[in-house]
């Protein structure tokens, strides 16, 4: 099929919708509303250095982390963009302890949206890439009623769509609705997301590993042995491994998905469940990476099979090339004695 060179996100979503006769267009409209929020956030993130919205607020979020002004701005922007479209019955955000109800005067829809409004926000003041992550489910509770916590606590393999926006050298929106992974770069000249990365597949070649090696002393032995293995080994193409760690999960995983590689935030002696959040960081990124041919586990099971028990629960994560994630498992499963 001839692929038009000027494929906008809106057109791509609508063409995806046409593949499903039963589609009502609600998911398309939801994704379109998300892309509008992404444009607004891109504008603010890219001028954050100029406008006084850098620096810390005097507030902290549910996790006790001091919120950056841009964190709160991104959270508020997403809610304002998404709460009145009539497609959602409930939302949940990293920045809000409880679920977020649709205001009573707005129509309630059939989808659920969970998001991390600004992942990697500790990097904001250093002008390092940061990102927004989103996860979409169909509701479980009866149509027309307010959404519930149970609507939000569904395993990741029930997602109908997921994606992220990276605010970096350019702003790119990557999403999957279950039919491939597609990347769209924002053309600021006329504010459109243009298809720049059709049908992303993670390359089998992988010589990048991403982990915070500053936590080495807290790692379990199997992980220590794996990282040592990487530092001594060559990959399947005889290339030495290289360490790349930005401190922004979205940026690290986006790079690894394009170049090949594995991102790890493991459990360790200090943090038995790791650091990253299951519902609005790991599940959507796992949905994307599996749709691109990769793998994402918690060191034992697929991220997408974890049955959630709370909105902000953490999980260890190993995500990237299937061969690399399998290799990690080999080391984690073998209790290896230190040298
Ligand atoms: P550490 C950002 O705070 C984040 O949630 C991810 O985006 C990032 O990969 C990780 O935490 C960085 O954590 O402990 O290595 O600084």
CB of 317 closer than 8 Å to CB of 287? no
Question: Is domain 208-332 classified as CATH 3.40.190.80?
Answer: yes
Residues 6+ away with beta carbon under 8 Å from 18: none
Cα dist from 10 to 42, 54, 77, 166, 199, whole Å? 17, 32, 20, 18, 16
For residue 328, the model assigns a pLDDT of: 94
SS3 state of residue 291: helix
Strand 208-210 versus strand 262-265 pairing type: parallel
- Alpha carbon nearest to ligand 1 atom 3, residue: 120
Q: Report DSSP state, residue 298.
A: S
Pocket-testing residue among 115, 117, 216, 247, ligand 1, by greatest number of atoms within 8 A of Cβ: 247
Q: Which atom of ligand 1 is nearest to the CA of 277?
A: 5
Query: What separation in Å is there between the alpha carbon of 81 and the centre of ligand 1?
Result: 26
> How would DSSP label each residue in 180-235?
--EEEEEETTTTEEEEEETT----S---EEE--GGGGGGS-HHHHHHHHHHHH-B-
The string of pLDDT tens digits covering residues 173-225 is: 999 998 899 999 999 998 999 999 999 999 987 889 999 999 999 999 999 99
Pocket-testing residue among 119, 130, 168, 219, ligand 1, by greatest number of atoms within 8 A of Cβ: 119
For residue 60, the model assigns a pLDDT of: 65
- Alpha carbon nearest to ligand 1 atom 10, residue: 247
For residue 4, the model assigns a pLDDT of: 54
The residue with tokens 């409930």 is: 90
What is the location of CATH 3.40.190.80 in the chain? Answer: 208-332
Residue 111: which of 122, 121, 102, 124 has the closest Cα?
102
The string of pLDDT tens digits covering residues 260-292 is: 999 999 999 999 999 999 999 999 999 999 999
Distance between CA 30 and CA 15 in Å, rounded?
15
For residue 236, the model assigns a pLDDT of: 65
- Neighbouring C-beta atoms of residue 26, cutoff 10 Å: 16
Three-point CA angle 304, 136, 83, nearest 5°: 150
SS3 state of residue 33: helix
Listed as ranges, residues in the chain with pLDDT below 70 are: 1-5, 48-62, 64-68, 235-237, 335-339
Pocket of ligand 1 (CB under 6 A): 119-120, 122, 212, 247-249, 252, 275-276
For residue 53, the model assigns a pLDDT of: 52
- Alpha carbon nearest to ligand 1 atom 13, residue: 247
Query: What separation in Å is there between the alpha carbon of 247 and the centre of ligand 1?
Result: 5
Question: Is domain 9-197 classified as CATH 3.30.230.70?
Answer: no
What is the location of CATH 3.30.540.10 in the chain? Answer: 9-197
């Amino acid at each position: 099929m001839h692929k038009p060179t000027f494929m906008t996100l809106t057109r791509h979503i609508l063409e995806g919708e046409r593949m499903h006769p039963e589609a009502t267009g609600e998911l398309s409209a939801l994704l379109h509303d998300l892309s509008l929020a992404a444009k607004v956030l891109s504008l603010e993130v890219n001028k954050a250095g100029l406008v006084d919205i850098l620096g810390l607020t005097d507030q902290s979020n549910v996790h006790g982390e001091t919120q950056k002004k841009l964190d709160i701005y991104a959270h508020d922007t997403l809610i304002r963009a998404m709460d009145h479209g009539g497609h959602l019955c409930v939302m949940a955000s990293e920045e809000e302890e409880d679920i977020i109800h649709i205001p009573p005067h707005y129509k309630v829809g059939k989808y659920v949206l969970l998001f991390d409004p600004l992942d990697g926000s500790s990097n904001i003041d250093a002008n390092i890439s940061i990102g927004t992550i989103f996860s979409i489910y169909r509701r479980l509770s009866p149509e027309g009623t307010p959404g519930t916590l149970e609507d939000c606590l569904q395993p990741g393999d029930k997602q109908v769509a997921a994606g992220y926006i990276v605010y970096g050298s350019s702003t790119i929106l990557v999403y999957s609705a279950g039919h491939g992974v597609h990347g769209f770069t924002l053309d600021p000249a006329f504010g459109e997301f243009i298809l720049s990365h059709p049908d992303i597949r993670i390359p089998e070649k992988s010589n990048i590993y991403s982990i915070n090696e500053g936590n080495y002393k807290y790692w379990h032995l199997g992980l220590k042995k794996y990282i040592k293995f990487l530092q001594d080994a060559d990959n399947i193409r005889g290339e030495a491994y290289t360490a790349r760690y930005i401190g922004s999960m979205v940026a690290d995983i986006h790079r690894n998905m394009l170049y090949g590689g594995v991102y790890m935030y493991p459990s360790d002696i200090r943090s038995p469940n790791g650091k990253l959040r299951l519902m609005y960081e790991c599940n959507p990124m796992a949905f994307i990476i599996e749709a691109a041919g990769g793998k994402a586990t918690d060191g034992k099971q697929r991220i997408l099979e974890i049955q959630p028990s709370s909105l902000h629960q953490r999980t260890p994560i190993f995500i990237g090339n299937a061969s690399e994630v399998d290799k990690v498992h080999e080391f984690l499963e073998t209790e290896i004695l230190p040298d």
